Structures are given as structure tokens and as C-alpha cells.
């Protein structure tokens, strides 16, 4: 038990003193997750609205594809992105391999089904006569879309927070596409795995505590929105 107590003590020291290696991984994680979430929300919310609001042939199968994407393993996404952005891949000339934007591409693929599926569910759960009410009040097509999204804003925000928690804690994509390069593409989760294997237990605990605090904040936000 002594090494656990020592690890916790050293972890708090690293956090309090602002250890450069620790906060480099934190900064990389926050940067890449912000990139991926911005892209997934810009793409996912409109697609989720269309999937939940519109009626079109093949909608059931489209929803099945999106729901299947919720359970995609991160290592499979990492392998897929690696194949495309590697030097022998079709996107190799873009120089995305072993970069934060490359990780963000993979994490966007991870988060996108979550945003689409939960946004579609949020739209479908609205009152069935909302569209009729808005049209009777003279709402145009643009106002109809905005008003519907506004009514579902809490559920959509909860979807965003859920997706954010997913990308923050993934390992496979960051490891395979980012390469776990120190001071550059090393994220919190990949640093925990590497440093713990190297015997740097305190650093692993410090990063784990940061990840736990971020996860707690995300879950607290989701819980608050659900109560609302």
C-alpha cells in the first residue's frame, strides 16, 4: 500500500507545481477534443435533425447504421484513419499522420454517431403538434428548424457532453494515429498507459486525476440537464 500512498502524494505535487510533462498531455487532450467536438457538432446536429424530423425512404436503415456507429471500437477507427492518412494512403499527402489534427479526424468519426443518434432522438421526443403550432404562428422553414432545435436544446447539449466524454477517454485513436509523441501528440490516456508501464506510477495517477475531474464535470453537466 505504500507505493499507492506515495503515488498519490507525488501526483498531487505534480499537479500543484504545474509539471510541464503532465500539463503538456492535458493541453494536447483538450486541444484535440475541442477540434473533434466542433467538427462533430457542426456536422452531426443538422444530420441528427434531418434523421429525427424528416420522413424519407430508407430512414430505418440509416438509423440502424448510425446506431451501429455508437459501438465502433476506437482501435478500429484508429486503424481506418491510419490507413487513409499514412504515407501510402489516399490522404497521405495531407500530412495528418502523427499530428493533433489527425487524431481529431478519428475522434470526429467516434463522436459523430453519438451526436447524430442522440440529436435525432431529441427531435423525435418533442411534442407531435409542435410543427403544426409553429406553422399556425406563421413560422417559415428557417424559423421552423431553429425553433425545433431550440425546444430540444437541453437534450442536444446533453448529447454533446456525452460525445465529449467519449472522445476525452479514448485511447486507440490517439495511440495509432497520433503515435504518442512526447510534448506533441501524447494525450492524457496514452500518457497514463505508457508512463504506468514505465513505472512512473505518480505521473499516471496525476493524469488520471485530471481525467477524472474532467469526466466528473461532464457527467455533472449531463445529470443537471437531465434533471432540467
Euclidean distance between CA atoms 136 and 20, whole angstroms: 59
> What is the DSSP-derived secondary structure letter of residue 104?
H
Burial 112-139 (b: 16+ CB within 10 A, else e): bbbbbbbbbbbbeeeeeeeeeebeeeeb
Q: What per-residue confidence (pLDDT) applies to 7?
A: 65
Instruction: Judge whether 26 and 188 are in contact, CB under 8 Å.
Output: yes
Please tell me the CATH code under which domain 2-227 is placed. Answer: 1.10.3720.10
Q: What per-residue confidence (pLDDT) applies to 189?
A: 86
Q: What per-residue confidence (pLDDT) applies to 39?
A: 96
CA neighbours closer than 13 Å in the CB half-sphere of residue 175: 14
How is residue 147 written as a grid cell? Answer: 425553433
Q: What per-residue confidence (pLDDT) applies to 2?
A: 62
Q: What per-residue confidence (pLDDT) applies to 24?
A: 87
Tens digit of pLDDT per residue, the chain (228 long)?
A: 565 666 667 667 767 777 787 788 888 988 999 999 999 999 999 999 999 888 888 888 999 999 989 888 899 999 999 999 988 888 888 888 899 999 999 999 999 999 999 999 988 887 666 666 665 666 667 777 777 888 888 888 888 888 988 898 888 899 899 888 888 888 888 888 887 777 777 777 778 888 888 778 777 776 776 676
Q: What per-residue confidence (pLDDT) applies to 218?
A: 74
Q: Where are the domains of the chain?
A: 2-227
- What does 19-57 look like in DSSP terms, one character per residue? -HHHHHHHHHHHHHHHHHHHHHHHHHHHHHHHHHH---T
Amino acid at each position: 500500500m505504500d507505493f499507492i500512498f506515495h503515488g498519490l502524494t507525488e501526483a498531487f505535487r505534480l499537479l500543484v507545481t504545474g509539471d510541464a510533462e503532465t500539463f503538456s498531455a492535458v493541453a494536447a487532450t483538450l486541444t484535440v477534443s475541442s477540434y473533434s467536438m466542433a467538427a462533430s457538432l457542426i456536422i452531426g446536429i443538422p444530420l441528427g435533425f434531418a434523421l429525427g424530423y424528416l420522413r424519407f425512404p430508407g430512414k430505418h436503415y440509416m438509423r440502424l447504421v448510425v446506431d451501429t456507429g455508437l459501438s465502433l471500437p476506437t482501435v478500429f477507427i484508429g486503424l481506418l484513419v491510419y490507413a487513409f492518412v499514412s504515407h501510402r494512403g489516399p490522404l497521405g499527402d495531407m500530412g495528418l499522420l502523427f499530428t493533433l489534427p489527425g487524431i481529431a479526424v478519428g475522434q470526429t468519426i467516434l463522436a459523430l454517431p453519438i451526436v447524430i443518434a442522440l440529436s435525432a432522438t431529441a427531435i423525435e421526443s418533442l411534442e407531435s403538434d409542435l410543427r403544426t403550432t409553429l406553422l399556425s404562428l406563421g413560422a417559415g422553414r428557417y424559423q421552423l428548424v431553429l425553433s425545433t432545435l431550440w425546444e430540444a436544446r437541453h437534450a442536444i447539449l446533453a448529447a454533446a457532453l456525452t460525445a465529449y466524454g467519449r472522445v476525452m477517454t479514448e485511447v486507440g485513436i490517439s495511440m495509432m494515429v497520433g503515435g504518442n509523441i512526447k510534448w506533441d501528440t501524447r494525450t492524457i490516456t496514452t500518457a497514463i498507459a505508457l508512463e504506468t508501464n514505465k513505472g512512473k506510477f505518480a505521473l499516471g495517477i496525476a493524469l488520471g486525476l485530471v481525467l477524472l475531474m474532467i469526466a466528473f464535470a461532464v457527467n455533472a453537466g449531463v445529470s443537471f440537464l437531465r434533471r432540467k
